[in-house]
C-alpha cells in the first residue's frame, strides 16, 4: 500500500482545519493546496464532491531527504487528501512516506521515511 487513512467525524471544512493544525503540531506546513473539485469544474465542467490535496512539508526532514538524494524532490511533498465521500462522510488519507521514499536506495532515507510516517500517523490519530 502507498497510503493510510481515517474517517473524520465532522464536516469537510472542519477536517481541513483539524488536519492542518495536527500537521503543524508535528512540524509540517502546507506548501501546496490543490482543490480538485474547483479544477474539475473549471477545466472540464464536471461537478465533484469536495476533494483537496494538501502538500505537507516538514522543512528539516525534507532537507535531510534532499541531502541524501537530490532527486528525492520528485517524491516530495507528503500529500494528504481530504475528501468527501458519496455518503457525506469525510476521509483523510496520507501518502505513506515509507512506500514512496524507499523508491530511492540512498543511505539514511529508510530511517527518515519511518520518522515521517510516525509523525503522519500521529496526525491521523489526532483526528
Distance CA 122, CA 58 (A): 14
- The number of distinct structural domains making up the chain is 1
CB 113 within 8 A of CB 103: no
Lowest mean pLDDT among 9-18, 35-44, 96-105: 96-105
Burial of residue 26 (number of CB atoms within 10 Å: 0-12, 13-18, 19+): middle
Q: What is the predicted pLDDT for the residue at 102?
A: 82
Domain of 15 in residue numbering reads as: 3-126
CB 48 within 8 A of CB 88: no
Q: What stretches of 2-108 show up as alpha helix (H) in DSSP?
A: 12-25, 36-44, 59-68, 97-101
CATH number of the CATH domain containing 99: 3.30.310.70
pLDDT, tens digit, for every residue of 50-71? 999 999 999 999 999 999 999 9
Distance CA 81, CA 36 (A): 10
Amino acid at each position: 500500500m502507498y497510503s493510510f487513512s481515517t474517517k473524520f467525524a465532522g464536516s469537510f471544512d472542519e477536517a481541513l482545519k483539524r488536519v492542518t493544525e495536527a500537521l503543524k503540531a508535528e512540524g509540517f506546513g502546507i506548501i501546496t493546496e490543490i482543490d480538485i473539485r474547483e479544477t474539475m469544474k473549471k477545466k472540464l465542467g464536471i461537478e465533484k464532491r469536495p476533494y483537496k490535496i494538501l502538500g505537507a512539508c516538514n522543512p528539516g526532514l525534507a532537507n535531510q531527504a534532499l541531502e541524501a538524494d537530490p532527486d528525492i524532490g520528485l517524491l516530495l511533498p507528503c500529500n494528504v487528501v481530504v475528501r468527501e465521500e458519496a455518503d457525506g462522510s469525510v476521509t483523510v488519507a496520507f501518502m505513506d512516506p515509507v512506500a514512496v521514499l524507499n523508491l530511492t536506495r540512498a543511505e539514511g532515507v529508510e530511517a527518515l521515511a519511518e520518522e515521517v510516517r510516525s509523525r503522519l500517523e500521529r496526525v491521523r490519530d489526532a483526528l
